[in-house]
């Protein structure tokens, strides 16, 4: 399948979507087992408990990644996270979106069946990226939305202060006091 997209500059582009048969060709790591476990937990302990399990897993991954990525420039952080996503079957890629900004696209949802039953995982994945990268992350496009061919995240890192810069002294500041 394909859809025609109109972008701001140039000729229209075509975005191709995989059929259900095509999606079945890509890795879906442990989907059946994990879905069964989550549904069992939801029946036994409530949906909130199942979501809490997913969130705890992502929080643990984010904590480990944050340590590994500490001190790296933004581009290397985004590259490492997208590489990990691709290794996990997400077919992730990224591109620069200006100074301190990037766009991450996941062309294959490795947990699509889980996300269909527990869509809260998508918000948890956004929080995972935010914590791992130490940046603002905004989910812009979503594969669970009809016609969407990828999950797309806008990543914005905080500006890095220049060496030796400090807040200026304002007119109300006492001598030696920073405002």
Q: Which tens digit of pLDDT belongs to each residue from 51-99?
A: 999 999 999 999 999 999 999 999 999 999 999 998 888 889 999 999 9
Give mean pLDDT, residues 159-179: 53
Contacts of 166 (CB under 8 A, 6+ apart): 178
Residue 15 phi, psi dihedral angles, 5° rounding: -110, 120
pLDDT higher at 126 or 172? 126
Q: What is the pLDDT of residue 92?
A: 93
Q: Please say if the pLDDT value at position 14 is more than 80.
A: no
pLDDT higher at 162 or 171? 162
**Dist CA 100 CA 26 (whole Å):** 32
State percent of the chain over pLDDT 90: 47
CB atoms within 10 A of CB 81: 23
Q: How confident is the model at residue 112 (pLDDT cuts 50, 70, 90)?
A: confident
Q: How confident is the model at residue 175 (pLDDT cuts 50, 70, 90)?
A: very low
Q: What is the pLDDT of residue 30?
A: 64
Q: What is the pLDDT of residue 23?
A: 67
Q: What is the value of pTM for the model shown?
A: 0.71
63 by DSSP, 3-state: which? helix
pLDDT tens digits along 122-134: 899 999 999 999 9
- DSSP assignment of 121-154 equals HHHHHHHHHHHHHTSEEEEEE-TTSTT--SEEEE
Q: What is the pLDDT of residue 174?
A: 47
Please give the order of strands across the beta sheet that includes 101-106. Answer: 92-96, 101-106, 151-156, 136-141
Q: Please say if the pLDDT value at position 20 is more than 90.
A: no
DSSP 93: E
């Amino acid at each position: 399948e394909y859809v025609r997209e109109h972008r701001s500059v140039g000729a229209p582009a075509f975005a191709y979507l995989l059929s259900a048969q095509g999606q079945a060709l890509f890795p879906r790591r442990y989907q059946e087992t994990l879905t069964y476990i989550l549904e069992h937990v939801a029946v036994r302990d409530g949906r909130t408990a199942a979501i809490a399990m997913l969130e705890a897993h992502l929080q643990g991954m984010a904590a480990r990644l944050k340590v590994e990525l500490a001190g790296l420039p933004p581009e290397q952080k985004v590259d490492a996270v997208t590489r990990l996503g691709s290794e996990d079957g997400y077919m992730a890629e990224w591109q620069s979106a200006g100074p301190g900004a990037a766009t991450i696209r996941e062309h294959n949802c490795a947990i699509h069946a889980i996300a269909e039953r527990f869509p809260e995982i998508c918000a948890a994945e956004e929080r995972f990226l935010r914590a791992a990268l130490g940046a603002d992350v905004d989910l812009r496009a979503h594969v669970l939305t009809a016609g969407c061919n990828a999950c797309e995240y806008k990543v914005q890192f905080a500006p890095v202060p220049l060496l030796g810069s400090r807040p200026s002294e304002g007119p109300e500041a006492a001598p030696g006091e920073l405002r």
